[in-house]
Amino acid sequence: MATFGTLSDRLTETFRNLRTKGKLTPADVDGTVREIRRALLDADVALPVVKEFTAKVRERALSDEVNKALNPAQQVVQIVNEELIAILGGQQRRLQFAKNPPTVIMLAGLQGSGKTTFAGKLAKMLESDGHTPMLVAADLQRPNAVNQLQVVAERAGAAIYAPEPGNGVGDPVKVARDGVEAARRQQYDTVIIDTAGRLGVDAELMKQAADIRRAVDPDEVLFVIDAMIGQDAVNTAKAFQEGVDFTGVVLSKLDGDARGGAALSVASITGRPIIFASTGENLDDLEPFHPDRMASRILDLGDILTLIEQAQQAFDEAEALKVAEKLATETFTLEDFLDQMQQFKKMGSMKKMLSMLPGTGQMKQQIDNFDEREIDRTEAIIRSMTPSERRNPKILNGSRRLRIARGCGMTVTDVNQLVQRFDQAAKMMKTVARGGVPNIPGMGPVGGKPGASSKRGKQQKAKGSRSGNPAKRAAENAGAVAEAPAVQGSGFGLGGGKPGGQPSEADLAAVQKLLGGR
């Protein structure tokens, strides 16, 4: 997640330096702990949390469990991971549902923290899990807050109770109480109450929120906090805990680029678990919060479990089996490719998925430079083809490719490149589907016969001169190089018609044709 990007980079660099040491001395541990402390403080993690965290890491890093370990550096990374999980709450905590519906969920937080948007995200998530939520517009202070919730509810496909226009008109306590009764009568099993926020913590805000809580007796009170507000996050959380109290925390705007480390302090300072993490502006950008997975992301260890869960939600198992059969029988077409792209898009942002892979923190710049619109361009080209062209790209002659390019607003070169990439990918996937080894252009079959290259190296080495006279040895070796056959092929798969592997004119013509005549 972008919010913890800087912290992740700092910690990863610290551990990279640690791994160069075979055995850790107390000085090594103190230096590592000092770097961790600086990284946490720079990321706005609260000072009490930093002190407690680094003290525990230092104590454990100097213990026998590290000294006797085969790989002390990895052991220290494991210790930091476990302590990060602890300050993030330890274990995942799910929403608590009432035995007798409706379950009442009250939202609290400062103005601008993202409560209204979160209400829509939560409603959509609950609906996908088989619940029937109703939103209640109890924020009657902020201008157009009621209208905004109505728009969000419509986008989420959820019911809404909004009897008052808002903008300072109406009694929020009465609206909240009547909303719960309306949900009970109409048999909605969950009520989400959106309450008013303020630009800062004040007595009036706390009194109104406390009155609503007493009136509806909610099963959950979720404190929505902006992950980018810095050290003030802790003070705000404490104020709400004393004034209203809450049962769980929601971190919003985790996709931002601020330091965001103060959000790590909330669970530790308040003793209340983080239940949800909001990771974007779309209504689907909401994740249950897993302390262990978040710690792994911060330490650049990846989050494969979340990636798998998203894939399981997006991909149809029966459809996946059909694709596997088509790959094995050589009937995989551009239509199938388009269907697969559609399923990938359901998983959300490609950048977000890539960031969940272990070690991708080291490729941050490449991931940031990845253009999400490339998928849309590819989709546009395929959709501009006729069904017969998608099923059999071999019929795509020059005039057809020109028509496709004009139809999607792209160039003929773009169409040529897509067809070429598809052909190569299809061949590679067919080989893998049959249990074979893919032949990557310019590299040959991956995993060739072991020892083959080393044997050739030994043979070539044996041909070299062993003369004790340096001048004579150099002359004989030069003669051996002149007599050696030209190297066939280069790193780009081009032939070696000329000594030194230089491409021939035929090679260049073939490459030009491959790239669409450029």
Q: Are residues 145 and 245 in the same domain?
A: yes
For residue 253, give the DSSP letter. -
Residue 383 and residue 240 share a domain: no
Distance between CA atoms of 65 and 300, rounded to whole angstroms? 23
Question: Do 160 and 284 fall into the same domain?
Answer: yes
254: annotated binding-site residue?
Answer: yes
**Domain residues for 331?**
310-440
Whether residue 353 contacts residue 302, with contact meaning beta carbons closer than 8 Å, is answered with no
Same domain for 13 and 55? yes
* 3-state SS assignment for residue 418: helix
Query: Is residue 197 annotated as involved in ligand binding?
Result: yes
Is 166 annotated for ligand binding? no
Structural domain count of the chain: 3
pLDDT band at 448 (very low <50, low <70, confident <90, very high): very low
Token pair in block for residue 1: 């997640």
Consult the annotation and say whether 252 binds a ligand.
yes
> Is 132 assigned a ligand-binding role in the annotation?
no
Residue 148 assigned ligand-binding role: no
Task: Determine whether the annotation assigns residue 194 to a binding site.
Answer: yes
**Same-domain pairing of 41 and 152:** no
State percent of the chain over pLDDT 90: 22
142 is in an annotated binding site: no
Residue 213 sits in the same domain as residue 338: no
* CATH code: domain of residue 423: 1.10.260.30
Interatomic CA distance for residues 446 and 436, integer angstroms: 10
Is 21 marked within a binding site? no
Using the predicted structure, report yes or no on whether residue 452 has a pLDDT greater than 80: no
Is 109 one of the annotated binding-site residues?
yes
pLDDT tens for each residue of 453-511: 444 444 444 445 555 555 555 555 555 444 444 333 333 333 333 333 444 455 445 44
101-126 burial: b if 16+ Cβ within 10 Å, else e? bbbbbbbbbbeebbbbbbbbbbbbbb
Q: Per the domain annotation, does 209 fall within a domain?
A: yes
Q: Which residue has the higher pLDDT, 516 or 10?
A: 10
Q: Is 92 annotated as a binding residue?
A: no
**pLDDT at 360 exceeding the cut of 60:** no
Nearest to 336 by CA among 349, 319, 353: 319
Identify whether residues 284 and 330 lie together within a single domain: no
Would you state the structure tokens that stand for residue 82, as one six-digit string? Answer: 């476990």
How far is residue 79's CA from residue 360's CA, in Å, rounded to a whole number?
21
Please tell me the predicted confidence (pLDDT) of residue 444: 46
Are both 160 and 28 inside the same structural domain? no
Q: What's the farthest any 2 CA atoms get from each other in the chain? A: 103
Ligand-binding site membership of 198 (annotated): yes
Q: What is the 3-state secondary structure (H, E, C) of 329-375?
A: CCCCCHHHHHHHHHHHHHCCCHHHHHHCCCCHHHHHHHHHCCCCHHH
Q: Does the annotation place 115 within a ligand binding site? A: yes
pLDDT at 324 over 70: no
Same domain, 264 and 323: no
Residues 6+ apart with CB under 8 A from 201: 110, 235, 236, 239, 240, 243
pLDDT at 376: 82
pLDDT digits (tens, 9 = 90+) for 182-235: 999 999 999 999 998 866 667 777 888 889 999 999 999 999 988 777 667 778
Kindly tell me if the per-residue pLDDT of 169 is higher than 50.
Answer: yes
CATH number at residue 131: 3.40.50.300
β-partners of residue 286 are 278
Q: What is the mean pLDDT of residues 75-102?
A: 86
* Residue 3 known to bind ligand: no
Helical pair 373-383 and 412-433, crossing angle rounded to 10 deg: 100
Is 114 annotated as belonging to a binding site? yes
H/E element holding 248? strand 248-252
